[in-house]
Amino acid sequence: MSRRSEGKEEPLEGDSKIPELDYSLVEMGDRLGDGGVGMTYEGWYGDERVAIKMLFDPRMDLNLKREFMDEVMVLSGLSHPNIVKFLGAVTQPPNLCFAMELCDTSLFTMLHMERQKLSPLRAVEMGLEIAEALEYLHEQSPQVLHRDLKSHNVLLTESGRPKLCDFGLSRNPLASVGTPSYMAPELLRNGTFGAKVDVYAFAVLLWEMLSAQVPFGGLEIVEIKREVLEGQRPDLNQLDMCPNPLIDLIEDSWVEEQQKRPSMEYIARELSAGLTEWGLDAETGLRATMDIKGVEGGDALDALLFK
């Protein structure tokens, strides 16, 4: 376990409602992974086991510190059963960090490392929970976009409940940041964008959950961008066990024109109805046997495992 020394810099400005942690009670254990600006550890806050995300380097410039604090401010204002629970933050440099609930694993790890395949029924059940979390984000005032929805950023509790994490891009105004496999065409073109980028990413994620394959697996970033901008999408023929209304919903959600994509409210409503109307198969079929060569590195929580 390790802890960095206390700093004497002025704390960063933020929302006074953010719960301030006592850094003397923060203990870091095993390193779980890296993200864009910080490292994530399994750890403790007092007697509570938590996940701790800490800024890479206290000497980073103010802009990167602000980006880190943006995630703190977004996550601290959210409360939903399918969004990872924020516990508090240390805003005194050089020990910038925040604590959140520690989950069991990630959707990426389950699908592509443990190679577990979801049944169509279970995939839609989980998809509905994720859709409801995104609907909640889009209903906030001001509206919150996730901007980096992907299987790496969906954590799973011990009971299998999905929870969104990593809101580091939510306030980023640049269209060019994100994970290309899940990025809508308007982002890849550096165009104007809104909540429909999350709808597009959700469609790709739902395809991934149903197929147990990595979207555009094995392709280089430049190849993925070219494919998407040329109108290519993940292969719907991989979803041969799925009912047509579900396939239609995915196809409608990743269309080129963002204004033609449905809202997350509509998607959640359709998935909810589909659980009883689509006759979804509860059998998982074969376990996933995909090649994960070329998979892009993920969020700091990719390997988040409960010890």
48 DSSP assignment: E
Q: Is 29 helix (H, G, I), strand (E, B) or coil?
A: strand
Catalytic residue among 47, 61, 104, 148: 148
83 DSSP assignment: B
Residue 256 CB burial class (10 angstroms; 0-12, 13-18, ≥19):
middle
CB 19, CB 102: distance < 8 Å: no
User: What is the H or E stretch that residue 196 is in?
Assistant: helix 196-211
Query: Which amino acid belongs to residue 163?
Result: K
Which residues are bridge partners to 83 per DSSP? 164
Of residues 104, 112, 107, the one with CA closest to residue 305? 104
Q: What length does the chain have? A: 307
CB 97, CB 55: distance < 8 Å: yes
Which residues are bridge partners to 99 per DSSP? 52, 88
Residue 46 CB burial class (10 angstroms; 0-12, 13-18, ≥19):
exposed
The phi and psi torsions of 247 (rounded to 5 degrees) equal -65, -40
> Which residues touch 137 (CB under 8 Å, ≥6 apart)?
78, 83, 143, 144, 145, 146, 198
Is 252 a known active-site residue?
A: no
- Catalytic residue numbers read 148
